[in-house]
Amino acid sequence: MNQVYENYTPEDQEVWGILFNRQFKNIDLSATKEFSQGAAKIKFTPEAIPNFEETNKYLKELTGWQVTAVPGIVDDDKFFELLSNRIFPATTWLRTREQLDYLEEPDMFHDVFGHIPLLANQPFVDFLQGLAKIGLKYLDNPWAIHLLSRIYWFTIEFGLIRENGELKIYGAGIISSPGETKFSLSNEPEHLAYDIEAIIDSSYKKDSFQTKYFIIENYEELYSSLPLIEQIIEDRLKEQPVSKVK
């Protein structure tokens, strides 16, 4: 599947601009510095929906990664295969003006605005690729994939980082959500140190704000945790719970 750029309507471009300006202003002081730096490096602007061909030229030089168009959420095997080959799958459809504040399924604003700028950060993408390789190893074990999804959820999607003593956002699920941007940094949820065992033992919900967020000190911490992630998953598989996946 390709991104057919000429199919975007003037309204699509306008919606992108509205979403971009609203959320970039919202996260200007809240997101990791790597996000705004990455967005600048790959030339993201509110004036135009990103053209994947152009974006890929910048990413290729920065980290060797690429973006590919997909129709929607892809199966685990395809998802991990793409990431292991340094390819990030992103949908190309954009919400309508009537859907500015809520969607049940992630659109390209989440996939592209939320995720792609951090693909310019080498330790981050090395971690992403490493997670995918672990996923490919355990594709035939639903419990292992479920445990791995918790790591992905509480890092790539909903992770926080401490920069110069202040909490900042790097998870794409927060970055693309005005409401969760404010909530995640408030005193309402739990803020916990990055802990693989605690994350693997933490369930999550997709239809509400998180009740807890895990904080890394730097992106190298993510990458260096990969061996421990695999080891703990192996340990959990030995226990092989009889209860249903929750």
| Residue 146 annotated in ligand binding | no
Torsion 149-91-66-216 (CA) sign: negative
**Tokens 């929607």, located at residue:** 72
Using CB atoms within 10 A of its CB, is residue 105 exposed (0-12), middle (13-18) or buried (19+)?
Answer: exposed
| Residue 157 annotated in ligand binding | yes
CA 30 remoteness from chain centre: 16
State the virtual CA torsion across 24, 113, 198, 190 in degrees, nearest 10. Answer: 20
Question: 188 — phi, psi (to 5°)?
Answer: -75, -50
Residues contributing to the annotated binding site: 110, 115, 157
Residues contributing to the annotated binding site for Fe cation: 110, 115, 157
